[in-house]
Structure 1
Amino acid sequence: MNVHRDIAPSAGAAHADPRPPSAVSSGVGFAGLFGLLTAIVVGRMTGANGPVSSMLAVIACGLPMVLWTVFVDRAWKNESTGLDWSRSLKSHDETREISIAKLAGLWATWAIIAAIYCIARYYWDGQYLFAMRMLAWSAPVLFFVSIPYIFWIDRRLREPKDGAYMLGAWLMGERAGIDREKLVGHFRSWAVKGFFTAFMISIVPGNWFEVLSWTNAQITSDPVAMSRFLIGFLFLVDVAFATVGYVLTLRPLDAHIRSANPYAQGWVAALICYPPFILMSPGGPLDYSQNTADWSYWLQGAPAVMLGIYGGVLVLLTAIYSWATVAFGIRFSNLTHRGILTHGPYRWTRHPAYVSKNLFWWLATLPFIVTSGNPVDMIRNTVILGLVSGVYYWRAKTEERHLMADSAYRDYFDWMERNAPVPRLFAWATGRQSKPGEMVPTG
C-alpha cells in the first residue's frame, strides 16, 4: 500500500522500531476540523441552527479535507487507488462496454437501496425524514454525475471490472466471467453505505442544534454546563466527520472501500449498537440505566473544582473518542477497510473510540449507584453495562479479524504489541506474551 508517512516513533525506540506509516496524514483531519469550526462560529453568529445549515457545516468540514487530500497529500497518486497515471487515458472504445455495464450495476444498487428505504417505513419517521429528503434531493444529481465519472475513471483504472460491473454485466445477460467474490463484496460495501449514511445524516441536525442553541452565558455559567457544551460539541465533530466519511468513498481520493467485513459476527456486533437493531436503548435488553442518574446529580453541592475535574475527565474521554474519528479524515466507516491508521490516538491503542466511549459510560452513568437505593438495580445495571462493554470488545475482535487479511494491519498490530501503552498494559495484566501476528485480548 502506497501511504503517507506520518511517523512519530515512541520515545527510546525512534530508530530501532519505527511506527508503521499511516494511510492518512494528520493534516487531513486538522483541515476538516478548521472548516467545521468556521461553520460553527458562523452558525452561532447568524443563528443558522436548522437542518439544512447542519448539512452546509458537513460540507464545510469535508471540502477542506478533499482539497488537502488532493493538493497536499496528493492521494490520487497512491498505488492503492488502482488508478494508472503512467500513461495516457485508455480509449473510449476500450472501456465503453465496461462503463455501461458498471453504470447499470451502480444504478441497480441505488434502486435496491431506495426500495429498502421505501419498504422499511422506519426510515419515514422522526429524524430519518430529513435524511430521506436529503437523499431524494441528491439522487438526480448523483445519477447524472455518475455518467461522466464512471466513463472517466474506467479509462484510468488498471482493473475496471469491479463489483458494480459484475452486477451490471449479470443484469445484462452475461453469465460467464462473473466474479462472485467481487459481486458479494460490492453488496457488502453498499449495505454499509446504505445503512450508515442515512443514519448519520439523520443525527447531524440534532447535534448541530444542540451546539448552536447554547448561549455564551449558559456555557460559562458553571463547570457542569461547560462540560455538557463541550461534550455536545465533540459529538458534533464526530458525527460531521463520520458523515463525510460515508459519503466520500471515492477512488481518486484513495478513500474507496477496499473490503467490507465478511464475517457475520462482525455485522451482528456492530448493528446491535445502532437503531433499529440497538439493544442498549431505554427498555432494551441491554439498558443499563434503570433508576440511574447523571453524574452531576450525585455531585450536587460539590465544590466547583471537583465538578470541573470530573466533568473535565468526561470531556477528555469524549475528545479522544472524537479524535479517533477525526484521525480518519475522509475515510471513517464502520465495518470496512479503507486503509490502516497508525497515527493520532491509534498509536496508543488499536481501539481508542471503544475504550474511551466505554470509560465515559461507566463514569457518566455510575451504574452501581441508583436513585431507588435497590441493590438489585445496582447489580443489574453494573452487570448489563459490563455486557455492553463486552459487545464493544467483541466488535473490536471481529474488526481485527477482518483487517488481519492486510499485511499492513499485521505490521501495525505487531508494532502496537511491542510499543503501545494499552496493549502492553493488557499483556502485563494477563501475563501473556504475544507472537508476531497473533491476536490477543488487548486494547
Structure 2
Amino acid sequence: MNAHRDIQRAEGPATDDPRPKSAVSSAVGLTGLIGLAAAIAVGRYFGANGPLSGMAAVVACALPMVAWTIFVDKTWKNESTGLDWSRKARAHDETREISIAKLAGLWATWAIIAAFYCIGRWYWDGQYLFAMRMLATAAPILFLLSIPYIFWIDRRLKEPKDGTYMFGAWLMGDRGEIDREQLIEHFRSWAVKGFFTAFMISIVPGNWFEVLRWSNADIVASPVALASFCIGLLFLIDVAFATVGYILTLKPLDAHIRGANPFTQGWVAALICYPPFILMNPNGPLDYHQNVGDWALWLEGNVPALTAMGAVLVILTGIYAWATVAFGIRFSNLTHRGIITHGPYSWSRHPAYLAKNAFWWLATMPFIATSGSIVDMIRNTAILGLVSGVYYWRAKTEEKHLMADPAYQEYWDWMERNAPVPRFFAWVKRKVGIRTLVSAVVE
C-alpha cells in the first residue's frame, strides 16, 4: 500500500482516493453569498452605507445559510450535535435542575465577558464603540431567549451536563461532580467567542462603507480603482461570513465549538495578529510599512502592469474570502467546529494564510522603499518575513490542535497524497534532499 502511494505521489493525484467528506456542504456558503450579494445590491441602490445597514447585510448573509443548514442539509440530525432524536424528549422534571445550573453558568460567563469589555479601554474607543452598542442592545434579548433555549435543548441532549453546567453547578455550591477539563474547555471556548465576536462586529461598518462609497463610474475609472473596489468587496464578504460564524455557535446547527485550542503558543500566535495585542500596527514591532509605497505607486503609468497586478491581487483576495465562505456558518479562530475539506481546502490546508501573505508581499513590495534607503528595504523585507513566519506558526499550532481528531488526520493524509500545495512542497523537499545528497557524495 505504501509503495502504491509513493507511485501516486510521483505520477499525480490518486483517482481512486476520494477526498474526505467536508463537515459543511459547499451550498451553505453559496446561499450566504447570494444573500449578502442581494443586501449589497439593495444597499448600493439606496445608498444605505450606515453601520446598521452593514449589520443588516450580515443578517442577510446568515439567514439563507441557517435555512439551508436546517431544511436541506438537516445537520440537526448529525450525531456530532449531541442531540438525541431517536426517543421522546425527557420530561422537564428530569432536566430542570440541570437547566437552571446551566443558565447560571451561562449568565455568569456573559457577566465575566461584559466585565472584560468594561475593563478593556480599547473597547470604548474608535471602531469598538459600535460593537459595544450592538452587544449592549442584544444582551437583554439574548438573556430572555436563553431561557427557553436551554430548557428545550437539555431535554434533547444526550449529555446535558457540559462545561456550562459545570460552571453553574460550581457557582451554586455543588462541587461533587465538577469535571475540571470540561470547565476549562468552557472558558477557553467562550474566551474565543467573546474576544473575536466584538472584533468582527467592530469592523463590519468600515468594510460595508468601503463597498458602498464607490460610484459605478469611479469603479471603472482605472485598473487601480477596479481592483481596489473588488478587493474591498471581497474583504466585506470575508468579514460578513466570519461575523456570522462567531455568532452562530449553536448545537442544533452542528456549528458548536468542539474544542478550543489548548496550546498557549496557539493563542499567542493568533492574538498578536489582532488588536489590542497586534504587533503589525503602525510603529509596532512588526510594522513593515516604514517608507513603503504600494503596487499602484511603483507601477504608476504602466497600464498593462497595473491591470495584471490588480488582477493577481484580486485573485489572491478572492481565495482568502473563499476560504472563509467555505466554512459557511462555522468560521472561527482557535477552535475546532468540524473539518472543512472542500473549496480551497482541497488545494491547501491553509489557503487563507497563503493567499493573505502573498497579497501582502505583492501589494506592498517591501523590498522597495520610497526613501531609497537600503536599510529601509532590508528592514521592511525582513519584518514582513517575520510576519509570514507568524502565520506559519499559527498554521502549525492549529494543526497540532486539530490532529487530535481522526477526521483531521485522515484529511491531512489525503492532502499529502493529492493536494497541489502540499505535493509541491514535498517535491521541493525531495529536490533539496537529492541535491544535498549529491553534494555530500561529490565532496
TM-score range, shorter chain: over 0.9
Q: CA deviation at 1:12?
A: 7.3
Q: Distance in 1 between matches of 2:13 and 2:271?
A: 39
1:421 matches 2:420 = yes
1:372 matches 2:371 = yes
Partner of 1:54: 54
Structure 1, residues 172-200: CA drift from partner, whole Å, max 9, x if none?
A: 00111100000000000000000000000
Q: Distance in 2 between matches of 1:401 and 1:56?
A: 37
Q: Distance in 1 between matches of 2:309 and 2:401?
A: 37
Q: Which amino acid aligns with 1:118?
A: C
1:151 matches 2:151 = yes
Structure 2: state its 5+ residue gaps. 1-10, 433-443
Q: CA deviation at 1:305?
A: 2.4
Q: Distance in 1 between matches of 2:295 and 2:243?
A: 30
1:253 matches 2:280 = no
Q: Which 4+ residue blocks in structure 1 deviate beyond 4 angstroms?
A: 11-15
1:343-382 correspondence runs (5 A): 343-382=342-381
Q: 1:92 to 1:432 in 2, by over 3 A?
A: farther
Cα RMSD of the aligned pairs, angstroms, is 1.2
Partner of 1:224: 224
Q: Which amino acid aligns with 1:97?
A: E
Q: Which amino acid aligns with 1:45?
A: Y
Structure 1, residues 196-249: CA drift from partner, whole Å, max 9, x if none?
A: 000000000000001000000000001100000000000000000000000000
Q: Distance in 1 between matches of 2:29 and 2:431?
A: 36
Q: CA deviation at 1:294?
A: 1.4
Q: Which amino acid aligns with 2:50?
A: G
1:74-85 correspondence runs (5 A): 74-85=74-85
1:35-46 correspondence runs (5 A): 35-46=35-46
Partner of 1:403: 402
Q: Which amino acid aligns with 2:38?
A: T
Maintained 8 Å contact 2:29/2:327: yes
Q: Distance in 1 between matches of 2:13 and 2:213?
A: 47
1:208 matches 2:208 = yes
Q: CA deviation at 1:432?
A: 8.7
Q: 1:161 to 1:432 in 2, by over 3 A?
A: farther
Secondary structure at the counterpart of residue 157 of structure 2: coil
Aligned residue pairs, count: 422
Q: Distance in 1 between matches of 2:99 and 2:413?
A: 41
Q: Which amino acid aligns with 1:227?
A: A
Partner of 1:101: 101
Q: Distance in 1 between matches of 2:59 and 2:188?
A: 26
Q: Which amino acid aligns with 1:360?
A: F
Secondary structure at the counterpart of residue 292 of structure 2: coil
Q: 1:15 to 1:296 in 2, by over 3 A?
A: closer
Q: Distance in 1 between matches of 2:178 and 2:41?
A: 51
Q: Distance in 1 between matches of 2:193 and 2:431?
A: 38
TM-score normalised per structure 2: 0.94
1:16 matches 2:16 = yes
Maintained 8 Å contact 2:13/2:419: no
Q: Which amino acid aligns with 2:372?
A: G
1:104-183 correspondence runs (5 A): 104-183=104-183
Q: CA deviation at 1:370?
A: 0.5
1:185-200 correspondence runs (5 A): 185-200=185-200
Maintained 8 Å contact 2:14/2:418: no
Partner of 2:319: 320
Q: Which amino acid aligns with 2:72?
A: V
Maintained 8 Å contact 2:189/2:259: yes
Q: Distance in 1 between matches of 2:55 and 2:265?
A: 33
Q: 1:360 to 1:167 in 2, by over 3 A?
A: same
Q: Distance in 1 between matches of 2:292 and 2:173?
A: 59
Q: Which of these two proteins has the greater Rg computed from alpha carbons?
A: 2
Structure 1: state its 5+ residue gaps. 1-10, 434-443
Q: Which amino acid aligns with 2:82?
A: G
Partner of 1:7: none
TM-score normalised per structure 1: 0.94
- Identity value in percent: 76
Partner of 1:244: 244
Secondary structure at the counterpart of residue 431 of structure 1: helix
Q: Which amino acid aligns with 1:294?
A: D
Q: Distance in 2 between matches of 1:124 and 1:371?
A: 36
Q: Distance in 1 between matches of 2:409 and 2:297?
A: 45
Q: CA deviation at 1:306?
A: 2.1
Q: Distance in 1 between matches of 2:121 and 2:387?
A: 28
Q: CA deviation at 1:153?
A: 0.2
Q: Which amino acid aligns with 2:18?
A: P
Q: Which amino acid aligns with 1:348?
A: W
Q: Distance in 1 between matches of 2:126 and 2:319?
A: 30
Select the structure that is richer in helix: 2
Partner of 2:436: none
Q: CA deviation at 1:15?
A: 5.0
Q: Distance in 2 between matches of 1:127 and 1:62?
A: 22
Q: CA deviation at 1:431?
A: 1.8
Q: Distance in 2 between matches of 1:417 and 1:14?
A: 11
Q: Distance in 2 between matches of 1:265 and 1:76?
A: 34
Partner of 1:277: 277
Partner of 1:66: 66
Q: Distance in 2 between matches of 1:84 and 1:160?
A: 11
Q: Distance in 2 between matches of 1:204 and 1:193?
A: 16
Q: CA deviation at 1:165?
A: 0.1
